[in-house]
A and B are shown apart, each in its own frame.
Chain A
């Protein structure tokens, strides 16, 4: 039946939307202790095209999981509209759709196999013979830099590694939308790099990927687009670089033995600067049209007579951008 449905499914043209959510509202509501009720997701507008990889970063993991479940047709939504691959959404929820591959903690893997064997096992129904199929899978493991997982029994993999193995199966499928709901997981650099490669495979063949995660570093590495989901609303979204450059205004990080004194001196010398103290660090935020340069900062330090232990030019990250948004700055 799945095969029949797959055959009936016509591939959309390259410019089509994979997901079109308009004013999407969840059925679920928050019930606060004072008796007040509030809808969990409100007015979500999200458009994902072919070839895009979106990361939804939320400070409340439940909210991003809920959004991804709604988009993946696992849960019904309240109001608004959500269209999957320009074909609407099935009324019957939780049905496995050939064009949507949903990965979450709820998908468990058999523990009595290693990664390579598992990938061979799930692809055993394909018409490709075992030998060339194994070659394809090994190539995938090598190209994604996840080859170190090849012969590791699944029972010894971490939850993040298991999720990556699941994503590998998704990259072997023909699904147009891969939903990767991993809000509670933390990915190291190597895994993030592997996920990036797998996401490239999915997007390069005309599919799209939607990641729900609290791991900003992974989202920054993997995704082409990012969206911040705060208090049930998508507050900021766009290309990752744009989001970072627009929201991450931190210019310099200074280390000092007396950070409070340094901050006060810098603020007094240049009132236009936003100076904040985080432990032994002093962070300089600069929202002016012409940001402060290293030379100007050194001149400022000479002027104040303060000494610093280290001075570092801040690189823009999605994590900082998200922190900025969460802490209410730059809104």
Chain B
């Protein structure tokens, strides 16, 4: 077998031993992204009758547009994670580790190395993105959506520019960050900043609009969003920086990044080597070696604190949702049980709109028989057949002869699809049937509870925190191994 590996081939195969394995991985990563997009699309469909439909209707359409929109976001997130996990192979950090030293010594021009690396990274990431994009279209075709070609190209370009921008920013950052752990955090932060910048620049308001996406020029319309111009300028700027700084670094022997100072074996304890006679031994940057190893206390950097807070918040919120779902099961309207006098009710009907929307969580204050009611109150009661019902108090019934209150009341639903039938669902109930009055409702919480009751929701909200709690140590060790420089 003749090994004909050159620099560009090595770049294309990423961290793998064989080119073929790398190609297969790229292909299957693309397919995986397409399938994941489809899974998310289907999960979102279960939330169609919830607040999601009001705030992000473009995610729930029976159209290629929705699946592709989800794919664009997913591929950006995937690329951020991919860069963080494969940082050592995908960025210029290898220049800092003198991995190009022998190449330059043996005649490779540094500029060619830098240029090849940029091209290889962009092509490699764009290939995964394109495979995923095609896979998403292909899988969506099974749903027999009407194929509208007009926005396919525009959406493809939008996603591609994100991938290129992320690649260039990560490559540029790697020329200034020597520490692998900090560099990985930086890539994560840059990814978050990119999404935030898209929101600020009105980018999503164009991307969400199918009619605007039909024409690619809308993305370059400064009056609508300046994102594209800034993104293009950023990419160009990063290319120039990479070429200049990358070339400069590739021509140097870079000192190794040491976690601890070299040890002096023959000198008395407490001896240090200073960088010059004038240097101060208290300044850590002046030290070159030491006789006794420094026992570093476990440092809590900002990055580790932020990560810890994020992980704890994530676990806690997931557990809270599970607790809430359990509590709602306990305090159900059917059993007439409450939590601190409040009965939560997942309201799966549109009969009480606009007071309570479909799939909202509605909270009812539990009433005793002495509580006063007034007209307009939304009441929780059990009808004559014992079924839980919710309706608005229309009037108190009076005796036709004496005109006195009978203790009964007329209730009716608020929303009739056809106004001609208003009053059809009205009923007269006894005061003793009423045990709750509506105090508030929450749309987002309703959607979360709805999601928590789906199969994917159970998997995400139960398995992930359980996994994180019980396998905390192995996960931390895995990440530590990832971030440690391989000798």
Binding site for B on A (CB under 8 A): 1-3, 6, 27-33, 37, 39-40, 59-62, 65, 72, 74, 94-96, 98, 101-102, 104-113, 116-117, 120-126, 130-131, 134, 153, 155, 159, 166, 169-170, 172-173, 175
Asked if residues B268 and A122 are in contact (CB atoms below 8 Å), the reply is no
Say how far A279's CB is from chain B's closest CB, in angstroms.
23
In the bound complex, residues from chain A placing their C-beta under 8 Å from that of B255 are 74, 94, 106
Asked if residues B276 and A106 are in contact (CB atoms below 8 Å), the reply is no
Asked if residues B276 and A31 are in contact (CB atoms below 8 Å), the reply is no
Say how far B441's CB is from chain A's closest CB, in angstroms.
56
Which of these, B98, B105, B273, B277, contacts A106 with CB under 8 Å?
B98
In the bound complex, residues from chain B placing their C-beta under 8 Å from that of A94 are 252-255
The answer to whether the Cβ of B427 comes within 8 Å of any Cβ in the partner chain is: no
Asked if residues B266 and A59 are in contact (CB atoms below 8 Å), the reply is yes
Asked if residues B252 and A95 are in contact (CB atoms below 8 Å), the reply is yes
Query: Once the chains are docked, how many angstroms separate the CA of A126 from the CA of B276?
Result: 42
In the bound complex, residues from chain B placing their C-beta under 8 Å from that of A172 are 106
In the bound complex, residues from chain B placing their C-beta under 8 Å from that of A109 are 99
The answer to whether the Cβ of B275 comes within 8 Å of any Cβ in the partner chain is: yes
The answer to whether the Cβ of B274 comes within 8 Å of any Cβ in the partner chain is: yes
Segment among B12-20, B25-33, B305-313 that sits at the interface with chain A: B12-20
Asked if residues A61 and B262 are in contact (CB atoms below 8 Å), the reply is yes
The answer to whether the Cβ of B486 comes within 8 Å of any Cβ in the partner chain is: yes
Say how far A42's CB is from chain B's closest CB, in angstroms.
13
Taken residue by residue from 313 to 341, chain B's Cβ proximity to chain A (1 for < 8 Å, 0 otherwise) reads as 00000000000000000000000000000
Say how far B265's CB is from chain A's closest CB, in angstroms.
6
Asked if residues B104 and A28 are in contact (CB atoms below 8 Å), the reply is no
Say how far A255's CB is from chain B's closest CB, in angstroms.
30
Which of these, A37, A96, A124, contacts B104 with CB under 8 Å?
A96
Asked if residues B106 and A29 are in contact (CB atoms below 8 Å), the reply is no
Query: Which of A3, A27, A125 has the most B CB atoms < 10 Å from its CB?
Result: A125
The answer to whether the Cβ of B386 comes within 8 Å of any Cβ in the partner chain is: no
Query: Once the chains are docked, how many angstroms separate the CA of A269 from the CA of B268?
Result: 41
Query: Once the chains are docked, how many angstroms separate the CA of A110 from the CA of B100?
Result: 10
Say how far A319's CB is from chain B's closest CB, in angstroms.
17
Say how far B486's CB is from chain A's closest CB, in angstroms.
5
Asked if residues A121 and B10 are in contact (CB atoms below 8 Å), the reply is yes
The answer to whether the Cβ of B102 comes within 8 Å of any Cβ in the partner chain is: yes
In the bound complex, residues from chain B placing their C-beta under 8 Å from that of A117 are 3, 5
Given A33-B270, A110-B99, also A126-B107 (CB < 8 A): yes
In the bound complex, residues from chain A placing their C-beta under 8 Å from that of B264 are 60, 62
Given A124-B7, A125-B103, also A31-B273 (CB < 8 A): yes
Identity of the chain B residue whose Cβ is nearest the Cβ of A121 in the assembled complex: B5
